[in-house]
Amino acid sequence: MAFPRRLLIEGEELVLDLRPHWIALVLPTIVTLLLVVGYGVVLGYAPDEGVGRSVLVWGGLVLALLVFIWFPLRAFVAWATSNFAVTSDRVIHREGFIAKRTMEIPLEAINDVRFQQTVLERVVGAGDLVIQSASEYGRNVFANIRNPEHVQRTIYQQGERNKERMYQGRPAPAPSAPSVTTELQRLAELRDRGVLTEAEFQDQKKKILGQ
């Protein structure tokens, strides 16, 4: 399910629209297969006829359906109806089919973005994205994000562009040695963490130094 563009505000652009990584479906799929196999075993051991067979067949079916609805079906619906979107102004997470839940974090409120990957997640290109913000949501962990390193870089880039748009038409603050030093240190940290390439670092450095 694609992110509904009607939810964008005027002038806002949709930069990333991601569904959860398919790795989120691995465990629900395994559970579903186990339920099918388990029900087949029950049918195999059930008596050929009589009340005992009816109890095992229908009781096993009801139990399998309840388990399927409780976990695999909920996981499949959550995967199909979830969106993680990055726009030119916000990070938006939506989930739910009948009851929708939405979380929006303004880019200017984001303090830090990190990602976590297990060995398997690194192989398949998935991971958890951790966003620390000054908004009401505070620290948030978004699981099963596709290519989290790219998403991290995109959020930082859109945040920088958002700041530039906010300061357009305003008089630039008088440069001072401490603020310039702080900005250069921040850019160096982003470069060292792989968020900025060397070329992007040098370009931003020239802008800060006024070259």
Q: How far apart are CA 3 and CA 22, in angstroms?
A: 18
Identify the domain boundary among 34, 53, 79: 79
Whole-number pLDDT of residue 170: 54
- Tell whether 206 is covered by a domain: yes
Q: How far apart are CA 81 and CA 69, in angstroms?
A: 16
In this structure, how many other beta carbons lie within 10 angstroms of the beta carbon of residue 88?
Answer: 17
Question: Kind of pairing, strands 126-133 and 14-18?
Answer: unpaired
Identify the domain boundary among 52, 79, 106: 79
130 touches 139 (CB < 8 A): yes
Residue type, 199: A
- Kindly state the average pLDDT of the residues 163-183: 62
Tens digits of per-residue pLDDT, 5-35?
777 888 888 999 998 999 999 999 999 999 9
- Tell whether 93 is covered by a domain: no
- Given a cut of 70, whether residue 182 has pLDDT beyond it is yes
Identify the domain boundary among 33, 53, 79: 79
Tens digits of per-residue pLDDT, 62-102?
888 999 998 899 889 888 888 899 999 999 998 876 667 88
- Given a cut of 90, whether residue 50 has pLDDT beyond it is no
Percent helix, strand and coil across the chain, each rounded to 5? 55, 20, 25
- Tell whether 69 is covered by a domain: yes
Whole-number pLDDT of residue 35: 92
Confidence of residue 210 (pLDDT cuts 50, 70, 90): low
Is residue 17 within a helix (H) or strand (E), and if so which, with residue range? strand 14-18
Structural domain boundaries enclosing 36? 24-79
Work out the end-to-end distance of the chain between its first and last CA atoms, rounded to an integer number of angstroms.
46
209 touches 180 (CB < 8 A): yes
- Tell whether 204 is covered by a domain: yes
- Given a cut of 50, whether residue 195 has pLDDT beyond it is yes
Residue type, 170: R
Q: How far is CA 153 from CA 15, 37, 46, 122, 186, in A?
A: 12, 44, 57, 16, 14
- Given a cut of 60, whether residue 176 has pLDDT beyond it is no
**Residue 111 main-chain phi, psi, to 5 deg:** -95, -35
Whole-number pLDDT of residue 104: 87
- Tell whether 160 is covered by a domain: no
Per the structure, the count of domains in the chain is 2
H-assigned helices in the chain: 26-45, 51-68, 74-81, 119-124, 148-167, 177-192, 198-209
Confidence of residue 162 (pLDDT cuts 50, 70, 90): confident
